[in-house]
Structure 1
Amino acid sequence: MVSFSSVLLAQASLLQCVLACGFHGGLYPTENPLLRRSAVPELPTKKILIRNVRVFDGHVILSPRDIVIDGSVIGSNPTHPDEVIDGKDGFLIPGLIDSHTHVQQISHMEDLSRYGVTTAFNMNCLNFTSCEIFKSQVGLTSIFTAGVPIIAPNSDHARTTPIPKSMLITDVSQADLYVGWAVTNGSDFMKIVSEGNGPTQEMQDAAVQASHSRGIQSSTHASWEIPYQQAIQSKTDNIQHIFGESLIAKKWLLRMKAQGQSSVPTLTVMRYASENPAVREFLRGTAETNQTYPIHRENVKRLHEAGVPVVAGTDSVGYVEGLFDMPHGLKLHEELDNLVEAGMTEIEALRAATSLPAKLRNLSDRGVIAPGRRADLILLNSDPFVNISNTKDISKVWIQGIEYPDVAKLS
């Protein structure tokens, strides 16, 4: 008798495109999506001295100083550098972290790298061979990925995601099997989809518990009020998106904080959907909605004011003709703008894309500028603490000590 996990693996291997968050149209590129446009570099061994820079270390703004890149990490000994770079009184910040993306091809990673997004969380994967390739690209954005998400029949995600019916959860007993299969196939965390006609409360609870028992975190999609409440009750580690049909009640804010849950509100995609009826039609089967972007934004403000950790994520998928224009990399800078509009200071917004997600995801090797950490760095020409949009004024990007050769430039 063929095991359920074997069936899942066989079916997933046939799927070549990741469709995520219930609204991502597939990209079927004519070129090999796993092909790099440049040669794969080796990890660096040289020492680089960056002089005369103002440093945001991921927590606070430090006085002007010199920073050493020693091979692939940040060093402490500035003597005998192989290269000296004049920072010209610019700003050096940690590489940015996008906590909600959908990477489908190497070119998406290159786009992330161009904009200084040095770490990204890929929110599902239907082809583990492809995702393993994404996770091993030296000199490009570091990718952490979920596997096949937990989706229930008759839901919006079941309608828009190409998962066979046999891979949809129908019984609470399957939650542990789903999580075990995902972990075995290299998933870094578990994705759960809470929505109308989605997994029951018991299923979500079981999926979270199974994730934690295997030492991985759970991330729950929830973009409507009732599913959001279910996600809170499940004690999932982080909730992706935010709802916009009503204001979040204080009791739920207090519960999130008490349970140590964080929010990745993805205001960028919420704004995009609010302005595009075709997107809403694809997402929900109708363009009609009682959600508004000002309520989305107000709920993020309430989360932040309540002390719930709010982390930057975009839900970027790239370009899908006639439906989506959500480019990787650029959208994270727009998300920083949105977070500031929602009440964060510039320094809080930058923490939400550097040290905070690194801490919440237990990534002790990145997110801050300190000796021994990964040399994931962005050198900016302009002050992001005067205007958060200055994060787009990029001079140089390093990923694990390797300078990315084609950084984005302000037009």
Structure 2
Amino acid sequence: MPQEPEALASNEARGPATYDLVIRRAHIFDGYQALAGLYDVAINGGEIASVSVEPLRGIQEVDAAEGWVMPGLIDTHIHFYDVRAVSGPNSMRAFEENELSGKLGLFLDHGITTIKSVGDPTDGILDTRAKIGAGTLRGPRLLATGCGITGRDGHPAATVFSGNPWARERFTGEVDSVQQIRDLVHHLADRKVDAIKLLSEGACAHGPKYLWQNPAFPDGVELERLPLDLLRAGIETGHERGLRVTVHTTQQAAAREAIEAGADGLEHGVTVEPLTDHSLIDLMLEHGVTYAPTLWIDDAHPDARGNLKKVAEVGVHIALGSDTFSGRGLFGANTLEEAELMVAAGMTPTQVLAAGTRGASRQCVRPDLGTVAPGKRADLLVLNADPTADIGNLRDLSMVILNGRLAVDKR
């Protein structure tokens, strides 16, 4: 996207400069902790070139005025296409032509520089990713799994999309054999997805049926669980293709099955019951599993906050993921609300900031993102106040820099 030089102070008249862009006099949260003192952050191209206590020179300079610089936020769990509005080719086209661009911009406007789609129509979301990558569409860095993979008549095929067969075929991949799930994972890998998402709703050892309950479906929906042999095959195939595989779970038994089958992360984790199985928490730690709590959608469950606090306190890897979707709240703002809910659940602001930056980059297998350090991608936020003191200060946003270029200027 084009640079906006009028928003930056030029240094060209004062002699040769070392760097393309320098953010001057900033406190820093680097993805791990707040650094003591003030720093200059230099950018060349799309990378951070230097973080220095000594003054740096740039062709362009931004005075942070002793504000805060931190990595751009990463939301690891979003649903971008409008599941209510998209029900055929015409409504899909209308969404893409009339709403898609504005919704992408909302993420940047709120400081979210990377989003991970975990269950959008494969063709549409990968085309959107390609346009953002090519610079023909303005938006955050987009990672995508393509469709979510579920058992035949599983969630969300038989729940969210029960009355929308056209979207059901595109947003979800229903499988009922080991060969089918292997073939689908290979197909998605061939399409160059960034990860694989499996849905194991109700995948518990006591039986194949599960009553899925949600405020939108007060009577519940009886689902078939994703059988264990399919779960294992999907994870194994994803790993064969070099892809991280995360699994949608809500129960302790489902989470255990997913981890024992080799899952890299849990989407939602344990939400519908209290997390009382301490050996399950030990299993998360042993396997290095990432836990995305999605309180923005799951906070209605009385145990969701307490479960997050339990796993965070013992050092389970946490990644910020909101489960934001069209039709409720506002893209971008929902991610900030997720961060605030995580603090309300008992995490410190610093822990939540780490979950939304370095922890989220781990979930996404993007070590180039999520930290303020030389050699990392220059996806940065400039804030007016200290987010480590109050997570609400994420809303006091001054600038967003994406891939080394000024994307949003609210000064």
TM-score for both structures, normalised by structure 1: 0.78
Alignment of 1:126-137 (within 5 A): 126-137=121-132
Cα distance, 1:359 vs. partner? 3.0
- Deviation for aligned residue 1:100: 0.5
Cα deviation digits, residues 219-243 of structure 1 (max 9, x gap):
1111234433332332211110133
2: CA distance between counterparts of 1:187 and 1:73?
24
CA 1:224–1:83 in structure 2 vs 1: closer, same or farther (change >3 Å)?
Answer: same
One-letter amino acid of the structure 2 residue matched with residue 175 of structure 1: I
Deviations 1:98-122 (A, max 9, x none): 0101123232221111111111111
Q: What is the distance in 2 between the residues matched to 1:244 and 1:385? A: 27
Q: CA deviation at 1:201?
A: 1.2
Q: Is 1:210 matched with 2:237?
A: yes
Aligned with residue 163 of structure 1, among 152, 168, 184: 168
Equivalent residue number for residue 382 of structure 1: 385
Partner of 2:311: 303
Match of 1:88 in 2: 65
Work out the CA distance in 2 between the residues paired with 1:226 and 1:173: 25
Report the 3-state secondary structure (helix = DSSP H, G, I; strand = E; otherwise coil) of the residue aligned with 1:362: coil
From 115, 118, 130, the counterpart of 2:113: 118
Rounded to whole Å, the distance in 2 between the matches of 1:79 and 1:232 is: 47
Amino acid at match of 1:327: L
Residue 333 of structure 1: CA displacement?
A: 1.3
Partner of 2:272: 245
Please give the secondary structure, in 2, of the residue aligned with 1:173.
helix
Matching residue of 1:61: 34
- Percent identical pairs in the alignment equals 26
Please give the per-residue CA displacement for 1:154-175, whole angstroms capped at 9, x wherever unaligned: 3342222333499521112222
Deviates more, 1:68-77 or 1:368-377: 68-77
The aligned counterpart of 1:233 is 260
Aligned partners of 1:346 and 1:388 also within 8 Å? yes
1:183 aligned partner: 189
The answer (yes or no) to whether the contact 2:22–2:57 under 8 Å persists in 1 is no
Q: Report the counterpart of residue 12 of structure 2 in structure 1.
A: none
2:2 alignment partner AA: P
Task: Flag the 1:102–1:244 CA change in 2: closer, same or farther, 3 A.
Answer: closer
Deviations 1:115-164, CA, capped at 9 Å, x for gaps: 11111111023242542333442463101100222111233422223334
| Secondary structure at 1:64 match in 2 | strand
C-alpha separation between the residues in 2 aligned to 1:381 and 1:151? Answer: 44
Show the counterpart of 1:267: 295
Aligned residue among 51, 64, 72 for 2:24? 51
Q: Work out the CA distance in 2 between the residues paired with 1:254 and 1:364.
A: 25
Kept after mapping to 2: 8 A contact 1:235/1:261: no
Tell me if 1:195 matches 2:201. Answer: yes
Partner of 1:257 in structure 2? Answer: 285
Matched residues in 1 for 2:3 and 2:40: separation? 25
Asked if 1:144 is matched to 2:118, the reply is: no
Kindly provide the CA deviation profile for residues 335-383 of structure 1, in whole angstroms up to 9, marking residues without a partner as x: 1112112222111110001112223433121111112211111000011
Structure 1 contact 56–92 (Cα < 8 Å) conserved: yes
Distance 1:246 1:133 in 2: 37
Structure with the higher strand share, 1 or 2? 2
User: Where do residues 16-35 of structure 1 align in structure 2 (5 Å cutoff)?
Assistant: none
Does structure 2 retain, via aligned residues, the 8 Å contact 1:219–1:236?
Answer: yes
Letter of the aligned partner of 1:193 in structure 2? L
The Cα RMSD (Å) is 2.4
Question: Closer, same or farther in 2 for the Cα pair 1:213/1:46, shift >3 Å?
Answer: same
Tell me if the contact between 2:155 and 2:199 (Cα under 8 Å) persists in the aligned partners.
no
Instruction: Note if contact 1:97-1:120 (Cα within 8 Å) is conserved in structure 2.
Output: yes
Q: CA deviation at 1:43?
A: 11
Contact 1:43/1:401 (8 A) holds in 2: no
User: Which structure 2 residue ranges, 5 or more long, are not aligned?
Assistant: 6-17, 82-99, 162-166, 203-223
Indicate yes or no: 2:401 matched with 1:398: yes
Q: Deviations over 1:170-213 (max 9, x none)?
A: 11222211110111112111110111312111111110011001
Which of residues 334, 357, 362 in structure 2 aligns to 1:359? 362
Q: Aligned AA for 1:47?
A: D
Residue 232 of structure 1: SS of its match in structure 2?
A: helix
- Given that 1:254 and 1:306 are in contact with CA atoms closer than 8 Å, whether structure 2 keeps it comes out as no
Q: Among residues 24, 47, 50, which one is paired with 1:73 in the alignment? A: 47
1:41 aligned partner: 2
- Cα offset for 1:42? 7.3
Residue number in structure 2 paired with 1:9: none
Q: What is the rounded CA distance, in whole Å, between the counterparts of 1:304 and 1:317 in structure 2?
A: 25
Aligned 8 A contact 1:113 1:329 in 2 = yes
1:313 maps to amino acid: G
Conserved? CA contact 1:135–1:142, under 8 Å: no
Tell me, yes or no, if the aligned pair for 1:43 and 1:71 is still in contact at 8 Å.
no
- State how far apart, in whole Å, the 2-side matches of 1:218 and 1:142 are: 20
Alignment partners' CA distance in 1, 2:125 and 2:337? 28
Q: 1:203 and 1:380, CA in 2 relative to 1: closer, same or farther beyond 3 A?
A: same
